[in-house]
A = this chain, B = another copy of it.
Amino acid sequence: VEFSTVRYSKQFPLKDFSPESCLLIFDEQLLKAKAGKKIIQRFPLKYKVKAGEKLKDIKAFPKHAESILKTLNDKNTKDLKVIALGGGSVGDFAGFIASVLKRGVPLIQVPSTWLSAIDSAHGGKTGLNAGGAKNQIGTFFPAEKILIIEDLLSSQPQARLNDGAGELFKIALIEGKTLWKKVSTLQTLNQKNLWKLLPEAINAKYKVVKKDPQEKTGYRQILNLGHTLGHVIEATLRISHGDAVGQGLIFALRWSHERGLLNEKDFAEIESSFMFKEFEQKLESSLKKLNLTKSRSGLLMDKKKSQKDSLFFILLKKPGQAVRQKVSVQDVINEVMRQKAL
């Protein structure tokens, strides 16, 4: 398994590229942002997409693949590269295309959202949705390079910044050490301090991925901390992914404490952080709206489910030590009820 190079710069490093040998797959929204438009204009071969889960629908894949082949128009594809410019759904889709186009062409990820810059652009997962479930068809296809462009990320609206906060909070808790120290003592979150924390947060993800790149031992699943209830909140309450993960984290942290895994002192420290307080309020509002029947079926659909009535849930022993435990769907429902009543 090869690993990716992550490169940070203020602007897109156009001089390192020969745009003629690249196919740019980009989110049409970026034409509206100055930094995005500037990049897009430089590529003669490009394919515009509308971001979102519909892009990842397997039913749309043949049409996209044939349009992309037509865009390439029988060009010599020997040194072709695919550049994915956009957020999570664009990266998942374009990554899958790169992995299967002419039996695979090198991929460069250029995440345009804080969420994708901190999380989904890294680690090589690509995916399409099929049969009503996410990422059922996909590949492990690590990008050759990931370009993190400050101007591009800064052109995103504030809501998107909050969306990155959930994954930052998660990876800091998984990593522990200095990253957690920095994140736990944040007084606010803005583009400037998120940009500064990005390299450490990204490195922390690679440390986990390198130990289990293709999710064979299960170790990589600790990256799902906050995701089990997060996915239910995301799907049933239509809350954005990063925000839902932040709320799912609060749930997982409280449960880790309740189960006696996370001790009083560590929990108190986490609880006093700015990030915890932000997401705690949101979780409380979500828990009020959460329908238990829908949650139950949501949990059963979750990809971490290992058999009909049980699933792996990621809990935290202390910052830097996430653990995977088998629980029943009923255990989760009971904990939701307990936290509803808090």
Contacts and interface: CB of A to CB of B under 8 A. Distances in A.
Interface of A: 58-59, 61-62, 65-66, 69-70, 76, 78, 96, 99-104, 125-127, 130-131, 133, 135-140, 214-215, 306-307
7 contacts: A66-B130, A69-B130, A99-B139, A100-B138, A101-B136, A103-B126, A104-B139
A100 B100 contact: yes
Contacts of A102: 136-138
A140 B139 CA distance: 12
Given A66-B131, A69-B130, A76-B307, A140 B103 contact: yes
Contact of A127 (B62, B78, B103, B135): B103
Nearest to A96: B100
A240 to B, nearest CB: 24
Given A69-B136, A100-B100, A100-B139, 8 more contacts: A58-B62, A65-B136, A69-B130, A76-B306, A99-B139, A102-B137, A103-B138, A103-B140
Given A70-B131, A76-B307, A65 B137 contact: yes
A65 B58 contact: yes
Contacts of A140: 103-104
B214 A103 contact: yes
A104 B65 contact: no
Nearest to A216: B78
A43 to B, nearest CB: 21
Q: 3 closest pairs, A vs B, by CB?
A: A69-B131, A58-B62, A103-B138
B103 A65 contact: no
A107 to B, nearest CB: 14
Contacts of A69: 130-131, 133, 136
A47 to B, nearest CB: 14
A136 B66 CA distance: 9
A307 B73 CA distance: 12
Q: Which interface residue of A61, A62, A78, A214 has the most chain B CB atoms within 10 A?
A: A62
Given A70-B131, A101-B137, A214-B103, A62 B65 contact: no
A78 B217 CA distance: 10
* Listed residue (A69, A101, A306) with the most chain B CB atoms within 10 angstroms of its CB: A69
A214 to B, nearest CB: 7
A99 B96 CA distance: 12
Looking at A65, A70, A125, the one whose CB has the most chain B CB atoms below 10 A away is A65
A214 B104 contact: yes
